[in-house]
Amino acid sequence: MLIKPTRGSAALQSCALAIGFSIWLSAAALARTVKDQTGRMVNVPENPHRLVSLAPNITEIVYALGLGDELAGDTDNCDFPPQAKDKPHVGAMVNPSLERIVALKPDLALGTPEANRRETADQLERLGIPLYGVTASTLQGTLASIEDLGKILGRAEQARSLVAQMQARIDRVGKQIEGRPKPKVLFVVWYRPLITVGPHTFIADVIRAAGGIPVGDNLKGEWPRLSLEELLPLDPEVILFPQTESFSPSKREFQTLPGWKDLQAVKEGRMFFVSETIMRPGPRLVDALEELAGVLK
C-alpha cells in the first residue's frame, strides 16, 4: 500500500494511524486462531456477524443455525432455503469475485475444499478476510461440520440440538434396515463417461447408512471414472441417479446402451432418481438418507 504523508496533515495522519492500530489490536485480541477442518490456521473473529458462504451446503447450515440474517452474501448456486437466492451473489464456487466479497465487508468467509480453490482462500487471507473451511467425507463428518460451524459462529446450542435431531433420524433408519438384504448400489454422477463416487465420500457413506453397498471398494479418489469393462463385473443391483436439471436420461435409453443393457439393475428396471440433496453435505442430508432407505427397500 502506498503511504505518502503530506506535510500539513502529518499530525492528523499519525493520529488516525494510532487509532486504527489500536482498533486493529483490539480486534486481533478479540479474534482467535483456530485450526479449521482442512488443517489451516484461521484467525476467526469472536462474534462474526457478517458472513459470506462460498458453497450451497454451507449456506444451508448457516440458515439452519438461525444465522440467515447474518449471511451477507452467497454463491450463484445457493438455492436452499429459497431466501438464499435473494442474497447478494459473489459468483460461482470455483472462482468467486474477490471484489464482490470485499464489497460485502464480511468478517468471516466459509468454504469447503470440495467446491472452492485453495487459491481463493489464500487471496482472501491476503485481503484480510479469514476463510474457515469445513469438509466431510462421512455422514458423521457432516454432523461434525455442523457442530463445528455452530461453535465458531456462536450457535453451539442450536447446532447441538440440530445434530441430535439428525442423529435420531439416522438411528431410526439404522433400525429400519436391520435384517434387510443389502443391495449393491451404483451411484451415477455422470454416465458419459461413467463417473461414480469413491468409497470414502459422504455420498458412499449415506448409501451404506441407507442399507446399500456402494460398488467399487477399491476405487480411488472422490469422483472415480469407470470404464464399461470395469462396470460389468461389479454388476450393481440398483442404479441411482441424482435428480438435477441437466441430467434426466430415460430408463429405456439405458436398456439400449452397450454394456449397460447387460447389467441386472438395468434389465430389472431397478434404476431410480434420488433428490439432489444427497450431494449436499448439510442438514438435509438426512432427508436424502431417509429417501434412499425407502428406495432400497
Partner 1 sequence: MTLPATPRNVMAVALAMSLLLVLVVLVSLTLGAVHVPLSQVWRALTARGGGSEAAIIVLDIRLPRILLAILVGAALSVAGTGLQALLRNPLADPYVLGISSGAAVGAIFALWLGGRIASASPLAAFIGAMITMLWVYLLGRSGGRLASYTLILAGVITASFLSAIILFMLTLLSTRDVRGIAFWLMGDLSVTPLAELRLLAPVVILAIAGLYLLAKDLNVLLLGAEEAAHLGVNVARVEAAVYILASLLTGLAVSTSGAIGYLGLLVPHLGRMLVGNDHRMLLPTAALGGAILLVLSDTLARTALAPSELPVGAVTAVAGAPVFIYLLRKTAG
Binding stretches for partner 1 (CB under 8 A): 1-4, 16, 20, 76, 89-92, 94-100, 102-103, 105, 113-114, 117-119, 122-123, 126-128, 221-223
Question: Considering beta carbons, is residue 123 or 176 the nearer one to partner 1?
Answer: 123
Question: Considering beta carbons, is residue 75 or 277 the nearer one to partner 1?
Answer: 75
CB-CB contact of 50 with 155 (8 Å): no
Question: Considering beta carbons, is residue 205 or 237 the nearer one to partner 1?
Answer: 205
**How many whole angstroms separate alpha carbon 137 and alpha carbon 149?**
16
**How many whole angstroms separate alpha carbon 109 and alpha carbon 75?**
12
Minimum distance, C-beta of residue 228 to partner 1, in the bound complex (Å): 18
Minimum distance, C-beta of residue 179 to partner 1, in the bound complex (Å): 37
Question: Considering beta carbons, is residue 24 or 264 the nearer one to partner 1?
Answer: 24
SS (H, E, C) 33-61: EEECCCCCEEEEECCCCCEEECCHHHHHH
Question: Considering beta carbons, is residue 91 or 174 the nearer one to partner 1?
Answer: 91
Minimum distance, C-beta of residue 22 to partner 1, in the bound complex (Å): 14
Backbone angles phi, psi at 226, to 5 degrees: -115, 135
Please count the other Cβ atoms lying within 10 Å of the Cβ belonging to residue 97: 12
**How many whole angstroms separate alpha carbon 139 and alpha carbon 209?**
8
Minimum distance, C-beta of residue 118 to partner 1, in the bound complex (Å): 6
Cell 464480511, residue?
106
Minimum distance, C-beta of residue 77 to partner 1, in the bound complex (Å): 11
The radius of gyration of the chain's CA atoms, rounded to the nearest angstrom, is 23
Question: Considering beta carbons, is residue 15 or 127 the nearer one to partner 1?
Answer: 127
**How many whole angstroms separate alpha carbon 173 and alpha carbon 188?**
23
Minimum distance, C-beta of residue 208 to partner 1, in the bound complex (Å): 21
Q: In 3D, which of 253, 167, 234, 161 has the Cα closest to residue 196? A: 234
